[in-house]
Amino acid sequence: MKTNKTFMKRLRVTKNGKIKMRAKGHNHFNAKEGRRHQLAKKRMTSFVITQKSSSRFITT
């Protein structure tokens, strides 16, 4: 089974091995939102993945 490339583009691994994910919902139409929401979407969020999802999306 191949790695899901679109899913992997949203993830980053820190130097301590934690998995961080890009915040959802900030592709377009962000100008109408408040500045607080715009800045919140820039931050990476923590991501916990189950073993089942890991085997489905991330192949090593």
Bigger pLDDT: 24 or 35?
A: 35
Q: Hey, where are the domains in the chain?
A: 5-57
CA 42, CA 58: separation in Å to the nearest integer?
A: 24
pLDDT one-digit tens code per residue, 44-57:
888 777 877 777 76
pLDDT one-digit tens code per residue, 6-25:
878 888 888 887 788 887 77
Residue 35: pLDDT band by 50, 70, 90 thresholds? very high
Which of 26, 59, 57, 60 shows the shortest CA–CA distance to 40?
26
